[in-house]
């Protein structure tokens, strides 16, 4: 048995090696050359080592290891290791396993050795390309003293270990290496980074250090501690599929880390997991080519909304405010988040949208601001012209870019989704003026070096990929999960757990419980997506959070945070829970709902009605605090007349009556309650089960407010803001006129306004 006193990591890979069948021996003095186009092949034929030209440039060759299996056609024989990563040599160059036991790459044109394995002192006696794609050098006692697995390029093969401080870096087709890398740092964090100091994806590192990362042969990426126990893992969607013969993990040129499997049926490599679910969230994914968004077919594209792309096809700089004789203005980019890439000189302050805009206009160094509000208003100030970002209807932030004021033309709000051409040209004309002279030589270099790097295709999302995405989700991020119908079925266990009519309990891959609401299949996709994007950006503590949605062929689902105790009407009918609904609790529920609806009506960027406010849509969490759900969907239902603030107020009135009386037949109970109240029997309508008694003054106030909300003449109904004030005690409430008995507003005339 093989004994090992070196670090466990090495033992692990040696274990793999020793398990392999016979390896093809490479003897001292063997030689590969560009001219001969010869190879060293592993004994199973799966891998080959030799020269290749993947650079689309004549007379530039690299030497490395690629797949060689007969079942993989020529064009798909992916390179998995390159000697010296970005080292290139000319024709007539050669790669020699010298008599001294060293691998040497000799460039014919320069006449020098450009890369060596630096093993001349290790008594190397033989070499082999092993069956798992590892090129190894051994001494006479068959111990491995050097292996290609220890100097990874952009790829990890199954069994290959990435140990602390090692990195993967995308192979560059240009002469400058990629800005992206994957590093396992000494704290045990596996990170995707840009420019080595900005990390945009991180796993591990909670408690353990000295970890290693490995791709297992059954298709999982794992972080192992020193005892080879997995402390973190992620699985490809075909994990454990015995039909998959080949796999690899690669950091692609677009900065995303992907797990690939050989799909025999498709005769191609298939991505079965990717680290950053949404390519637009890879830092600087568009670099200087503008703002990242998804086009109609779901591919991410980079669009330049700042300058005309006709003049400068790849640079997309925000205009400089320098030299704006006639002052500056802000151009609005809705549903867009912008950030600076060079130099990143951002600052964040907690101020309102208006203050944020003023701040930028007044600060001569401010070039752009992004404003986000998910409960806390945040103004992100940018002071660089090298700005990129992402844009999507589901992105809740709004951005402003400073432009020179055009004394003639006004700047209407630009839409990134369909930029009006004439406006783009005009804004470029001005930014062009501002730009000249601002670019120094070094900046020009910086701008152009990345251009050669192409983007890899974007794969369809998968449920498994979401595991990592979810585990990592920044609580401040406003990204909605886009789920397929199959994923909806998976997470609800085939709709096995009903919560209510067309509502099912489910579990996201990160074990977060959710409520999945099925909607009418006839809802137009465009309308559905518009609504989702509107409500996805709304965050308030008494509104149930929308986590995701499914919009696939005729399936329409909304995925909300799960709220423990069900709806208000269920709680009232439940003997155990209803006892916990004290008078104080019922008042609190009313106030929370009023605040949430008032927030919808007045504090969102555009007016949002609830559209269907009723007890069934007010959920109670473990503390019986209210969470309003299914808000903002009014426009999805054909009756747009329901989509008004007054209808929400009426629904709220009914809910108050139900909470006071404990009866759930809203229309009958309103009628009865009004009759009793007007004849002076208010105390007789209060729910007898309320423990600890009620405050009769509060009962009176609540009923008055309820009957104001239930007025048939909608103009008499209070606004939700006024309702909140009554609860808070800053507004008194008079006796209401007769509400004409709480009937359903079926045959009413169209109202004048929202
Ligand atoms: C290896 O091949 C190159 C080019 O074919 C040749 O110049 C060189 O001498 C060879 N080396 C050995 C050790 O055969
Ligand atoms: C090798 O490169 C030189 C210089 O670029 C070129 O002139 C020559 O044609 C190339 N030879 C082959 C066989 O490609
Ligand atoms: C081979 O390498 C191993 C590990 O480095 C070493 O312990 C052993 O002594 C070497 N054997 C010879 C014959 O050099
Ligand atoms: C990141 O590193 C680059 C190059 O080393 C440097 O220019 C840049 O200022 C650094 N950025 C941050 C945020 O530290
Ligand atoms: C990590 O491993 C190295 C060598 O194996 C050791 O010297 C170091 O102390 C370890 N660090 C920690 C934090 O365990
Ligand atoms: C979306 O972008 C991809 C990649 O650039 C392109 O192939 C596709 O045609 C685009 N689709 C639409 C509808 O524009
Ligand atoms: C970045 O901000 C710091 C501190 O606010 C400032 O000193 C520095 O000059 C700024 N750099 C640039 C390039 O604006
Ligand atoms: C531009 O957008 C802002 C904020 O969304 C809005 O207040 C303003 O009216 C819009 N201007 C135009 C011309 O549409």
pLDDT tens by residue, 235-277? 888 888 889 999 999 999 999 999 999 998 889 999 999 999 8
Q: Report, as an integer, the average pLDDT of 550-579.
A: 89
Can you tell me the distance from the alpha carbon of 543 to that of 374, in angstroms, rounded to the nearest whole number? Answer: 12
Q: Report, as an integer, the average pLDDT of 128-148.
A: 95
Quick check: CB of 410 below 6 Å from ligand 6? no
Between the CA of 59 and the centroid of ligand 2 the distance, in Å, is: 6
What pLDDT is attached to residue 231? 85
Can you tell me the distance from the alpha carbon of 146 to that of 81, in angstroms, rounded to the nearest whole number? Answer: 14
Write the residue with the smallest CA distance to atom 1 of ligand 1: 31
CA distances from 585 to 94, 508, 522, 724 (A): 81, 31, 39, 16
The 3-state secondary structure of 67-134 reads ECCCCCCHHHCCEEEECCCCCCECCCCEEEECCCCCEEEEECCCCEEEEECCCCCCCEEEEEECCCCC
Q: Report, as an integer, the average pLDDT of 594-603.
A: 88
Is residue 131 within 8 A of residue 46, CB to CB? The reply is yes
Point out the least confidently predicted range of 173-187, 430-444, 486-500, 576-590: 430-444
The fold adopted by the segment(s) 291-410 is Hepatocyte Growth Factor (3.50.4)
Between the CA of 220 and the centroid of ligand 5 the distance, in Å, is: 25
- From 210, 225, 231, give the residue whose CB has the most ligand 5 atoms within 8 Å, as the site to mutate: 210
Quick check: CB of 27 below 6 Å from ligand 1? no
Whether residue 754 is predicted with pLDDT greater than 80 in this model: the reply is no
Can you tell me the distance from the alpha carbon of 88 to that of 108, in angstroms, rounded to the nearest whole number? Answer: 11
Cis amide bond preceding 343, omega within 30: yes
Write the residue with the smallest CA distance to atom 9 of ligand 3: 141
Instruction: Please list the alpha-helical segments (H only) found in 368-500.
Output: 421-435, 441-448, 463-471, 485-491
- From 94, 99, 100, 105, give the residue whose CB has the most ligand 1 atoms within 8 Å, as the site to mutate: 94
- What is the CATH architecture of 152-170+183-275? Orthogonal Prism (2.90)
HSE, CB side, 13 Å, CA atoms: give it for residue 291. Answer: 25
What pLDDT is attached to residue 696? 87
Q: Which residue has the tokens 């140990």?
A: 163
Between the CA of 160 and the centroid of ligand 3 the distance, in Å, is: 22
Q: Which residue has the higher pLDDT, 273 or 642?
A: 273
In 477-542, where do the E strands start and end? Answer: 481-483, 498-500, 503-507, 513-518
- What is the CATH architecture of 481-561? 2-Layer Sandwich (3.30)
* DSSP letter, residue 543: B
Q: What integer best gives the mean pLDDT of the chain?
A: 80
The answer for residues whose C-beta is within 8 angstroms of residue 446's C-beta and 6 or more apart is 342
Write the residue with the smallest CA distance to atom 12 of ligand 1: 31
The answer for residues whose C-beta is within 8 angstroms of residue 38's C-beta and 6 or more apart is 32, 50
Point out the least confidently predicted range of 118-127, 457-466, 538-547, 726-735: 457-466
Beta strand pairing call for 481-483 and 546-552:
parallel
Write the residue with the smallest CA distance to atom 10 of ligand 5: 210
Task: Extract the tokens encoding 641.
Answer: 């007349």
Ligand 3 atom having least distance to the Cα of 145: 5
Determine whether 17 is exposed, middle or buried from the number of CB atoms within 10 Å of its CB (0-12, 13-18, 19+): buried
Among candidates 264, 291, 305, which has minimal Cα distance to 425? Answer: 305
What pLDDT is attached to residue 18? 34
Task: Tell me which ligand sits closest to the C-alpha of residue 446.
Answer: 4
Q: Report, as an integer, the average pLDDT of 55-82.
A: 91
Q: 615 φ, ψ to 5°?
A: -55, -35
Count of C-beta atoms within a 10 Å radius of residue 647: 22
**With respect to CATH, is domain 568-728 assigned 1.10.510.10?**
yes
Whether residue 432 is predicted with pLDDT greater than 50 in this model: the reply is no
Ligand 4 atom having least distance to the Cα of 197: 1
Point out the least confidently predicted range of 214-228, 318-332, 335-349, 439-453: 439-453
What pLDDT is attached to residue 594? 94
What pLDDT is attached to residue 313? 57
Between the CA of 141 and the centroid of ligand 3 the distance, in Å, is: 6
Domain 22-151, CATH: 2.90.10.10
Can you tell me the distance from the alpha carbon of 520 to that of 533, in angstroms, rounded to the nearest whole number? Answer: 18
Write the residue with the smallest CA distance to atom 5 of ligand 3: 145
CA dihedral over 317, 321, 322, 326, signed as positive or negative: positive
Q: Which residue has the higher pLDDT, 19 or 695?
A: 695
Residues with CB under 6 Å of ligand 2 are: 59, 90-91
Quick check: CB of 45 below 6 Å from ligand 1? no
Ligand 8 atom having least distance to the Cα of 413: 1
In DSSP notation, 580-597 reads H--HHHHHHHHHHHHHHH
Write the residue with the smallest CA distance to atom 7 of ligand 3: 143
CA distances from 203 to 150, 207, 394, 461 (A): 22, 12, 25, 20
Q: Report, as an integer, the average pLDDT of 84-103.
A: 91
Q: Report, as an integer, the average pLDDT of 171-181.
A: 84
Can you tell me the distance from the alpha carbon of 699 to that of 252, in angstroms, rounded to the nearest whole number? Answer: 65
Write the residue with the smallest CA distance to atom 8 of ligand 7: 345
Count of C-beta atoms within a 10 Å radius of residue 232: 20
Termini Cα distance of the chain = 81
Of the pLDDT bands very low, low, confident and very high (cuts 50, 70, 90), residue 641 is low
Give CA torsion, residues 93, 96, 102, 106, to 10 deg: -10
Q: What is the total residue count of the chain?
A: 754
- From 343, 383, 440, give the residue whose CB has the most ligand 7 atoms within 8 Å, as the site to mutate: 383
Can you tell me the distance from the alpha carbon of 86 to that of 122, in angstroms, rounded to the nearest whole number? Answer: 26
Q: Which residue has the higher pLDDT, 321 or 51?
A: 51
- From 254, 290, 294, 299, give the residue whose CB has the most ligand 6 atoms within 8 Å, as the site to mutate: 299
Can you tell me the distance from the alpha carbon of 159 to that of 151, in angstroms, rounded to the nearest whole number? Answer: 14
What pLDDT is attached to residue 544? 93
Can you tell me the distance from the alpha carbon of 351 to that of 237, in angstroms, rounded to the nearest whole number? Answer: 44
Q: Report, as an integer, the average pLDDT of 298-311.
A: 71
What pLDDT is attached to residue 436? 24
Is residue 452 within 8 A of residue 332, CB to CB? The reply is no
CA dihedral over 137, 140, 143, 145, signed as positive or negative: negative
Quick check: CB of 347 below 6 Å from ligand 7? no
What pLDDT is attached to residue 312? 54
Whether residue 129 is predicted with pLDDT greater than 80 in this model: the reply is yes
Quick check: CB of 99 below 6 Å from ligand 1? no
Is residue 632 within 8 A of residue 610, CB to CB? The reply is yes
Between the CA of 178 and the centroid of ligand 6 the distance, in Å, is: 25
Quick check: CB of 345 below 6 Å from ligand 7? yes
Of the pLDDT bands very low, low, confident and very high (cuts 50, 70, 90), residue 23 is very low
Whether residue 438 is predicted with pLDDT greater than 80 in this model: the reply is no
Most confident option among 51-65, 88-102, 631-645: 88-102
Quick check: CB of 343 below 6 Å from ligand 7? yes
Q: Residue 388 pairs with which residues in a beta bridge?
A: 339
Can you tell me the distance from the alpha carbon of 284 to that of 292, in angstroms, rounded to the nearest whole number? Answer: 9
pLDDT tens string 463-483: 434 433 443 333 334 467 778
Is residue 488 within 8 A of residue 514, CB to CB? The reply is no
Of the pLDDT bands very low, low, confident and very high (cuts 50, 70, 90), residue 304 is confident
Quick check: CB of 627 below 6 Å from ligand 7? no
Q: Which residue has the higher pLDDT, 205 or 449?
A: 205
Whether residue 158 is predicted with pLDDT greater than 70 in this model: the reply is yes
Whether residue 749 is predicted with pLDDT greater than 90 in this model: the reply is no
Write the residue with the smallest CA distance to atom 9 of ligand 7: 345
Of the pLDDT bands very low, low, confident and very high (cuts 50, 70, 90), residue 416 is very low
């Amino acid at each position: 048995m093989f004994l090992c006193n070196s670090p466990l990591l090495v033992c692990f890979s040696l274990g793999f090696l020793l398990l392999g069948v016979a390896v093809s021996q490479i003897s001292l003095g063997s030689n590969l050359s560009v001219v001969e186009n010869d190879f060293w092949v592993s004994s199973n034929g799966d891998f080959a080592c030799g020269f290749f030209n993947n650079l689309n440039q004549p007379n530039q060759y690299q030497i490395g290891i690629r797949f060689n299996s007969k079942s993989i056609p020529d064009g798909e024989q992916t390179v998995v290791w390159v000697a010296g990563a970005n080292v290139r040599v000319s024709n007539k160059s050669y790669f020699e396993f010298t008599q001294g036991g060293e691998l040497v790459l000799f460039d014919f044109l320069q006449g020098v050795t450009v890369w060596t394995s630096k093993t001349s002192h290790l008594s190397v006696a033989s070499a082999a390309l092993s069956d798992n794609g590892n090129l190894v050098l051994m001494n006479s006692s068959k111990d491995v003293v050097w292996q290609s697995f220890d100097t990874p390029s952009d790829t990890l093969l199954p069994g290959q270990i990435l140990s602390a401080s090692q990195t993967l870096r995308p192979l560059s087709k240009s002469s400058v290496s990629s800005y992206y890398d994957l590093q396992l740092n000494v704290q045990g964090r596996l990170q995707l980074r840009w420019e080595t100091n900005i990390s945009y994806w991180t796993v591990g590192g909670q408690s353990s250090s000295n970890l290693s990362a490995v791709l297992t042969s059954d298709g999982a990426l794992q972080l192992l501690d020193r005892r080879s126990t997995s402390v973190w893992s992620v699985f490809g969607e075909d994990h454990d599929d015995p039909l998959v013969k080949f796999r690899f993990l690669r950091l692609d040129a677009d900065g995303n880390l992907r797990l690939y499997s050989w799909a025999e049926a498709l005769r191609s490599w298939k991505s079965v997991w990717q680290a950053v679910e949404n390519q637009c969230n890879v830092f600087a994914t568009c670099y200087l080519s503008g703002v990242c968004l998804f086009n109609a077919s779901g591919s991410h594209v980079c669009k330049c909304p700042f300058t005309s792309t006709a003049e400068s096809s790849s640079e997309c700089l925000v205009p400089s405010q320098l030299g704006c004789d006639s002052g500056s203005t802000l151009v609005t980019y809705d549903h867009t988040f912008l950030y600076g890439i060079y130099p990143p000189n951002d600052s964040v302050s907690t101020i309102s949208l208006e203050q944020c805009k003023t701040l930028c206009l007044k600060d001569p160094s401010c070039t752009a601001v992004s404003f986000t509000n998910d409960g806390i208003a945040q103004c992100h100030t940018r002071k660089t012209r090298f700005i990129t970002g992402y844009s999507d209807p589901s992105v809740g932030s709004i951005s402003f870019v400073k432009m020179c004021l055009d004394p003639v033309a006004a700047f209407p709000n630009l839409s990134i989704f369909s930029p009006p051409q004439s406006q783009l040209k005009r804004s470029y004309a001005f930014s062009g003026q501002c730009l000249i002279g601002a670019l120094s030589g070094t900046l020009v270099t910086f701008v152009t070096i990345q251009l050669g790097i192409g983007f890899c295709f974007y794969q369809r999302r998968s449920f498994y990929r979401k595991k990592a995405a979810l585990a990592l989700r920044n609580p401040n991020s406003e990204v909605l999960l886009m789920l397929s119908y199959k994923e909806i079925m998976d997470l609800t266990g085939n709709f096995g757990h009903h919560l209510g009519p067309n509502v099912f309990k489910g579990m996201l891959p990160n074990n977060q419980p959710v409520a999945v609401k099925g909607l009418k299949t006839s809802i137009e996709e465009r309308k559905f997506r518009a609504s989702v994007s509107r409500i996805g950006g709304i965050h308030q503590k008494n509104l149930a959070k929308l986590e995701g949605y499914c919009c696939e062929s005729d399936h329409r689902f909304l995925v909300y945070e799960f709220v423990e105790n069900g709806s208000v009407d269920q709680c009232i009918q439940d003997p155990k829970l209803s006892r916990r609904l004290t008078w104080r609790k019922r008042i609190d529920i009313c106030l929370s709902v009023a605040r949430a609806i008032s927030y919808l009506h007045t504090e969102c960027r555009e007016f949002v009605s609830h559209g269907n406010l009723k007890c069934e849509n007010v959920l109670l969490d473990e503390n019986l605090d209210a969470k309003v759900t299914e808000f903002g969907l009014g426009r999805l239902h054909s009756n747009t007349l329901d989509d008004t603030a007054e209808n929400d107020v009426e629904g709220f009135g009914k809910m108050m009556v139900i909470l006071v009386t404990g009866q759930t037949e809203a229309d009958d109970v309103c009628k009865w309650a009004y009759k009793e109240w007007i004849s002076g029997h208010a105390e007789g309508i209060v729910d007898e089960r309320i423990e600890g008694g009620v405050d009769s003054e509060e009962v009176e106030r609540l009923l008055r407010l309820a009957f104001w909300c239930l007025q048939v003449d909608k103009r008499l109904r209070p606004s939700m803001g006024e309702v909140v004030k009554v609860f808070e005690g800053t507004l008194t409430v008079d006796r209401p006129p007769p509400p004409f008995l709480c009937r359903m507003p079926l045959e009413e005339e169209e109202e004048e306004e929202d």
